[in-house]
A and B are shown apart, each in its own frame.
Chain A
């Protein structure tokens, strides 16, 4: 569990990036910070591994104040994945993944063996192990970044817009992979994005932020979708534009069993299967991930 207690960060130039932020990030779940550019997401994330130290307030990991932990040791114990992967261009894939292990003096053979396993874990071919990052596609680099973040088997994985720079198809893949990894490995993931659909897809808990990392709403995707706390949230999640309120199109005839859905703006948003002219009803409790996923793909199309 990670706990922020009235944390404030004011940079040297006077910018108040985070003010009086308090939140609890539960263990073994994915928490997503989502908000527009400059609202303080990266600052929040970097305070967890002490790349940035708060000017006021306390951050605890499992009840221990992190201010008492040596920063370099703390960072080695927490996985970090960033946009553009941040891989070291002069190290082969296998050495990039093994970096943290080698820094903590794990014998090289052991570190490399672990790195190869991690290639499997993130769904990459072991044949890529000896390439340099510049010889991989953006999506592959991002996977290597995730593998590197997992190398020391940390309990906590921090991800700062890790899929911001890859194309939508690859992003969808990587998102699915993140969900799978979180389930399999049971990590506490703190994920930063400005894409609300990604936030709803990945987050068990979503924290919507306004400027200065002020919490606009915090809750599960279902809670937020069903009950936007303010006009800001409604607008941010697209509810006000009716992007998430779908109706069956009256004009376009059904093809096969599928009926076209349109959003409040009148744009095609997806299809729903309707065998024999009757709308299919899904399982009783919607899984927020799949619901928002479909909305996102349709909504962006």
Chain B
């Protein structure tokens, strides 16, 4: 425990680095998967291709992807952006499925009625389809967030500062406390991300929570009546 207290500044530094590495792929994955998911929800062919591709990409081991990606993209092996690119690929691979489900979950009735009362195509996408896809998108981002935070640890293997360094160091020195500290720190980061994402979701989509709450609060009244 003593070691943890003494190393706190170092650990905190790694947490900050880890967060800096994890956030961009989550956001990029989210944004890029939206047009892809929308397309896949509208077209059977696009759906088959995109979802198939997503599953395949996700099965490639992280280290392999980090090594292969620079070759495929023609960038330097030690380019620090490689980790960002690899994590973004994973994020999209997961998120495309959620995003497809999200847009498929918007009811045709609502879509048609929005058209009937005079939304143009673009207005309908941003004011109706995107917000209504929100709850399922949110669920997807939560999965992507956890997955990205844990995958980001492999950065340590290719010399990028993340909480993964506590694992690599710990293994090299056979120092278990450092390894456990790394695991706990990753879990805490993932949990904090999750709280932030769900809170933002709740603030952006108050309508999503309301019916459930009123129904729950009505039930006891109904029972006593």
**B-chain residues with CB within 8 Å of residue A269 when the two chains form the complex:** none
* A16 at the B interface (CB under 8 A): no
The answer to whether A90 touches B113 (Cβ under 8 A) is no
Neighbour of B207 across the interface among A75, A76, A91, CB < 8 A: A91
Q: Is the CB of A89 within 8 A of B118?
A: no
Q: Which residues of B contact A72 (CB under 8 A)?
A: 118-120
Question: In whole Å, how far is B7's beta carbon from the nearest beta carbon of chain A?
Answer: 47
Q: Across the two chains, which residue of chain A brings its CB closest to B214?
A: A135
Q: Distance (Å) between the CB of A61 and the closest chain B CB?
A: 16
By a CB distance below 8 angstroms, the chain A residues around B110 are: 86-89
Contact across chains for B207 and A49 when beta carbons are under 8 A apart: no
Q: Is B216 an interface residue (CB 8 A)?
A: no
B117 within 8 A of A: yes
User: Would B109 and A82 count as touching, CB distance under 8 A?
Assistant: yes
B131 within 8 A of A: yes
Q: Tell me if B113 and A80 are in contact (CB < 8 A).
A: yes
A99 at interface, CB cutoff 8 A: yes
In the assembled complex, B210 has its CB within 8 A of some CB on chain A: yes
Cα separation A8 to B108 with both chains bound (whole Å): 25
Using A82-B113, A132-B211 as known contacts, say yes or no to A89 and B132 having CB atoms under 8 A apart.
yes
Across the A-B interface, how many residue pairs have beta carbons closer than 8 Å? 68
A82 vs B131: C-alpha distance when bound (angstroms):
22
CA distance A50 to B10 in the complex (A): 65
Question: Are B205 and A86 touching (Cβ within 8 A)?
Answer: no
Taking the complex as formed, is A252 at the interface, i.e. its CB lies under 8 A from any CB of chain B?
Answer: no
- Chain B residues with CB below 8 A from A104, complex form: 118
Instruction: Check A49/B114 contact, CB under 8 A, given A86-B109, A90-B131.
Output: no
Interchain CA distance A84-B211 in the complex, whole Å: 17
Is A192 in the interface zone, CB < 8 Å from B? Answer: no
- Chain A residues lying within 8 Å of B123, measured Cβ to Cβ, are 103
Among residues of A, the one whose C-beta sits closest to the C-beta of B112 is A86
Contacts of B116 in A (CB 8 A): 46, 49, 51, 75, 80, 82, 86
A74 to chain B, nearest CB (A): 8
Are A88 and B128 in contact, with the CB atoms below 8 A? yes
Residue of B nearest to A149 (CB): B117
CA distance A148 to B208 in the complex (A): 22
Question: Is A100 close to B, CB under 8 A?
Answer: yes
Pair B119/A103 contact, Cβ less than 8 Å: yes
A134 at interface (Cβ–Cβ under 8 A)?
A: yes
A73 and B205 alpha carbons, distance in the complex (Å) = 29
* A193 CA to B114 CA, complexed, in Å: 21
Least CB separation from A90: chain B residue:
B207
Does B42 touch A at the CB level, under 8 Å? no
Nearest Cβ distance between residue B127 and chain A, in whole angstroms?
8
In the assembled complex, how far is the CB of residue B116 from the closest CB belonging to chain A, in whole angstroms?
4
Type the 1/0 row for A70-113, where 1 means its CB is closer than 8 Å to any CB of B: 00110110001011111111111000000110011000000000
10 pairs, A vs B, C-beta closer than 8 Å: A51-B116, A76-B118, A80-B113, A86-B109, A86-B114, A88-B132, A89-B207, A100-B118, A103-B119, A134-B211
Please give 19 more A-B residue pairs, beta carbons under 8 A apart, in addition to A89-B132, A89-B207. Answer: A49-B116, A51-B112, A51-B115, A72-B120, A76-B118, A80-B117, A82-B112, A82-B113, A84-B109, A86-B114, A88-B114, A88-B128, A90-B132, A90-B208, A100-B117, A132-B207, A134-B207, A135-B210, A148-B117
Interface on A for B, CB 8 Å cutoff? 46, 49, 51, 72-73, 75-76, 80, 82-92, 99-100, 103-104, 132, 134-135, 148-149
What are the 7 closest A-B residue pairs judged by CB atoms, nearest first?
A86-B113, A76-B118, A134-B211, A80-B116, A75-B118, A90-B207, A132-B207
